[in-house]
């Protein structure tokens, strides 16, 4: 259940459209190898560090950092890690819910056959009309937040575990079914394979390395306290190293399989593979609308997207929900409603950024939505990841680390300690600095 829950946290909207495009445009197979290397050297070590902290503390990330800092006789300033994670998760949840609401709306429209025989003009105008309507965007944002809040309110057993027990296997089944369909029905599967895996060394640059490092860090939901919060529920006898390796493999396979679904469709219809969010909400509806069985498989695709969004959203809000339960001594139901309501309220700003507030800029050239996205993903999360590595590697009592990794061979622990202490924080710092400069 832990592996399914954390995999559900890691597998989100970014896996489904961002990774395949970034890989294809930055060297294909070369980028995939670089990405896997970054997962191994940066992503997995930081994930292990987060799980270690979570299971050692057995509380919300905020209180876990307070407890472990005291036990390790470290500076109280390290407690900021927990606060930063909870803040980043809350900010991300507020605008993630808006985009996830779009996916729910398109799931219904696809199932109703709205996009059957749709052309480019109709798909584009439909998307613009939808995002330009504040009532519709707010309505779907509200529905998605209600679903997330209900699941979170049901607790770890009845809510989280029950949800991932059914949603994650269903997500994997839908993804494999779509891959099989793309392989045997699209006629462009080989072209999609070549786009993802051909070794295009001329397209692999220094920026490509930075993108691989950034993708490896962000795709695993690191730095926002979600993995630390889930680590608090991990049984004592479970292997942290084996769990982290399994989660990283699942997350990478989902990203690659998503590319094998999307790009044969893209190439079969002469679409632009670098369309970003527009690929999901404009290009793919056109493609599904023009192909045989497109209504059915398009519905399956957006069902997949919806499931991925729900499992991610639950984890994003978990650090804040757990902290309110501990701090205010209230029930989990009350805490989930409070956090869900506040995130919904803040999310109104992101929802209106695409229509009524499109001219409102909080940062130069950035709408409310853009600002929340930029501050959380480009500033708070990288800083959180760097600090987690430094704390776990240099400050955390060695007895605690040894106890949590007692089942791992000493050589593995030594290598992990070096990665957590030096390489992972340094790699994240490089991405962070280059992102700010760019």
In this prediction, residue 219 carries a pLDDT of 83
When pLDDT is cut at 50, 70 and 90, the band that residue 372 belongs to is very high
Residue 333 has pLDDT above 80, yes or no: yes
In this prediction, residue 310 carries a pLDDT of 92
In this prediction, residue 26 carries a pLDDT of 86
In this prediction, residue 274 carries a pLDDT of 66
Residue 214 has pLDDT above 90, yes or no: no
Q: Which single residue is written with the structure tokens 């060297």?
A: 27
Counted residue by residue, the chain has a size of 438
* Under 8 Å between Cβ of 58 and 233: no
Mean pLDDT of 353-359: 94
In this prediction, residue 82 carries a pLDDT of 95
The number of angstroms, rounded, from the C-alpha of 317 to the middle of its chain's C-alpha atoms is 12
Instruction: Report the mean per-residue pLDDT for the chain.
Output: 90
Q: What percentage of the chain has pLDDT greater than the value 90?
A: 60
In this prediction, residue 192 carries a pLDDT of 85
Helix then strand then coil, in percent of the chain rounded to 5, is 80, 0, 20
Show the domain range for 169.
2-437
DSSP 156: I
When pLDDT is cut at 50, 70 and 90, the band that residue 276 belongs to is low
pLDDT tens-digit readout, 143-170: 999 999 999 999 888 888 888 888 889 9
Mean pLDDT of 215-226: 85
When pLDDT is cut at 50, 70 and 90, the band that residue 69 belongs to is very high
Mean pLDDT of 55-84: 96
DSSP of 131-148: HT-HHHHHHHHHHHHHHH
- The residues, any chain, with a CB within 8 Å of residue 145's CB and separated by 6 or more, are 97, 340, 343, 344, 347
Q: Does residue 438 sit in helix, strand or coil? A: coil
* Under 8 Å between Cβ of 48 and 222: no
Torsion-angle region of residue 60: left (phi > 0), alpha (psi -120 to 50) or beta?
A: beta
Hey, what's the torsion of the CAs at 79, 81, 85, 91, to 10 degrees? 90
Higher pLDDT, residue 290 or 313: 313
Q: Does residue 90 sit in helix, strand or coil? A: helix
Compute the half-sphere exposure of residue 262: CA atoms within 13 Å on the CB side of its CA.
34
Mean pLDDT of 35-52: 94
In this prediction, residue 275 carries a pLDDT of 65
pLDDT tens-digit readout, 92-149: 999 999 999 999 999 999 999 999 988 878 988 999 999 999 999 999 999 999 999 9
* Under 8 Å between Cβ of 15 and 23: no
When pLDDT is cut at 50, 70 and 90, the band that residue 277 belongs to is low
Residue 380 has pLDDT above 80, yes or no: yes
Q: Mean pLDDT check: name the lowest of 206-210, 343-347, 352-356, 361-365.
A: 206-210
Beta bridge partners of 28: 199
Comparing CA positions, the residue from 223, 274, 210, 205 lying closest to residue 437 is: 210
As for how many domains the chain has, the answer is 1
d(CA 321, CA 336) in angstroms, rounded, equals 6
**For 40-119, where are the alpha helices, taking DSSP H only?**
44-57, 61-71, 80-112
* Under 8 Å between Cβ of 287 and 266: yes
DSSP 105: H
What pTM, to 2 d.p., does this model score? 0.91
pLDDT tens-digit readout, 224-257: 889 999 999 999 999 999 999 999 999 999 989 9
CATH number at residue 109: 1.20.1740
Q: Does residue 363 sit in helix, strand or coil? A: strand
């Amino acid at each position: 259940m832990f592996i399914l829950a954390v995999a559900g946290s890691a597998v989100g909207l970014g896996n489904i459209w961002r990774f395949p495009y970034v890989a294809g445009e930055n060297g294909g197979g070369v980028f995939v190898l670089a990405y896997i290397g970054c997962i191994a050297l940066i992503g997995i070590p930081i994930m292990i560090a987060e799980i270690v902290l979570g299971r050692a503390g057995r509380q919300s990330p905020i209180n876990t950092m307070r407890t472990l800092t005291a036990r390790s006789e470290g500076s109280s300033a390290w407690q900021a890690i927990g606060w930063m994670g909870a803040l980043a998760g809350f900010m991300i949840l507020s605008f993630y819910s808006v985009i996830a609401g779009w996916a729910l709306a398109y799931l219904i429209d696809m199932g109703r056959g709205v996009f059957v025989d749709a052309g480019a003009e109709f798909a584009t105008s439909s998307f613009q009309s939808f995002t330009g309507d504040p009532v519709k965007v707010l309505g779907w944002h509200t529905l998605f937040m209600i679903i997330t809040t209900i699941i979170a309110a049901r607790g770890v057993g009845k809510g989280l575990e029950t949800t991932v027990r059914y949603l994650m296997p269903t997500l994997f089944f839908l993804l494999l079914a779509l891959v099989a369909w793309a392989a045997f029905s699209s006629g462009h599967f080989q072209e999609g394979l070549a786009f993802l895996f051909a070794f295009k060394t001329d397209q692999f640059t220094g920026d490509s390395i930075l993108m691989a490092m950034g993708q490896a860090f962000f795709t695993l939901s690191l730095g926002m306290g979600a993995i630390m919060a889930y680590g608090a529920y991990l049984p004592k006898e479970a292997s942290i190293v084996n769990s982290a390796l399994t989660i990283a493999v699942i997350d990478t396979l989902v990203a690659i399989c998503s590319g094998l679904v999307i790009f044969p469709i893209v190439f079969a219809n002469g679409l632009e593979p670098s369309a970003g969010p527009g690929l999901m909400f404009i290009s793919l509806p056109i493609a599904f609308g023009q192909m045989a069985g497109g209504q059915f498989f398009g519905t399956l695709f957006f069902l997949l997207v919806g499931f991925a969004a729900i499992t991610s959203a639950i984890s994003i809000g978990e650090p804040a929900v757990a902290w309110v339960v501990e701090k205010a001594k209230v029930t989990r139901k009350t805490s989930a409603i409070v956090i869900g309501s506040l995130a919904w309220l803040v999310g109104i700003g992101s929802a209106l950024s695409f229509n009524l507030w499109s001219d409102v800029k909080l940062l130069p050239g950035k709408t409310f939505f853009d600002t929340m996205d930029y501050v959380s993903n480009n500033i708070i999360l990288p800083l959180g990841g760097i600090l987690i590595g430094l704390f776990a590697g240099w400050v955390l009592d060695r007895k605690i680390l040894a106890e949590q990794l007692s089942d791992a061979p000493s050589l593995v622990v030594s290598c992990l300690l070096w990665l957590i202490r030096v390489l992972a924080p340094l790699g994240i710092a490089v991405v962070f600095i280059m992102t700010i400069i760019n």
